[in-house]
Amino acid sequence: MKPFYLMIVNDESAFSKISKIPLIDSGLVALRILLGVIFVMSGVGKMLDVSGFISAVMRYGLLPSWLVVPFSSAVPLVELALGGMLVVGRWTSISSGLLAVTLLLFTGAELYAYLNGVFVASECGCFGKLLHRPTDKLSFMENGILILGLATIGFSSRLKTVREKTKEGDLR
């Protein structure tokens, strides 16, 4: 038996063998769809309460005032588009990566606000009118779980693409 570190880099790695199990593939599909729905709902919630989201972005105090409205208008569209791509399974490695980076930036902004007491007990603006969430330790844990889920989807999607291209002999 090969050492574990050689199994990871080999074409027949442990992940490659495990991902051939239908239950694992089904779990990854379910996770991808769940995460996509979460971000679609986040985008829809912000679209239903644009003024509330603008207020939340202003409370963070991280953007110049002239950028708040364009940013607040673009974020729900980006979440809707990228979440939708996850739901339908298109460009999953790219969309999950972009959503993970976006969520990391939002989590950094929340952490900044939390540590500086900007609006600790107030609404974070994450889901607009659909769900009111304060910025607290639980929201940081939730964001961490979402980021790990997005990383899992992006990583597994990328490995699947590499594996398919390797079989076709078209690895670039």
pLDDT of 122 over the 80 cut: no
Position 162 confidence tier, pLDDT thresholds 50, 70, 90: low
Provide the strand spans (E) within 39-79. none
pLDDT at 18: 52
Report the pLDDT averaged over residues 52-72.
Answer: 90
Give the tens place of pLDDT for each residue, 64-98.
999 999 999 999 999 999 999 999 999 998 999 99
Q: Which residue has the higher pLDDT, 128 or 94?
A: 94
Report the pLDDT averaged over residues 113-132.
Answer: 70
Mean pLDDT of the chain: 80
**What letter would DSSP give residue 134?**
B
Q: What is the dihedral of CA 153, 155, 158, 163, to 10 degrees?
A: -110
Give the tens place of pLDDT for each residue, 8-45.
444 455 555 555 556 667 888 899 999 999 999 999 99
Evaluate whether 72 touches 50 at the Cβ level (below 8 Å). Answer: yes
Q: Which amino acid is at 149?
A: G
Integer Cα distance of 155 and 134 in angstroms: 30
Integer Cα distance of 133 and 126 in angstroms: 7
- The tokens describing 144, both together, are 């961490």
Integer Cα distance of 100 and 48 in angstroms: 23
Report the pLDDT averaged over residues 99-116.
Answer: 89
Residues 6+ apart with CB under 8 A from 9: none
pLDDT at 110: 84
Integer Cα distance of 28 and 95 in angstroms: 15
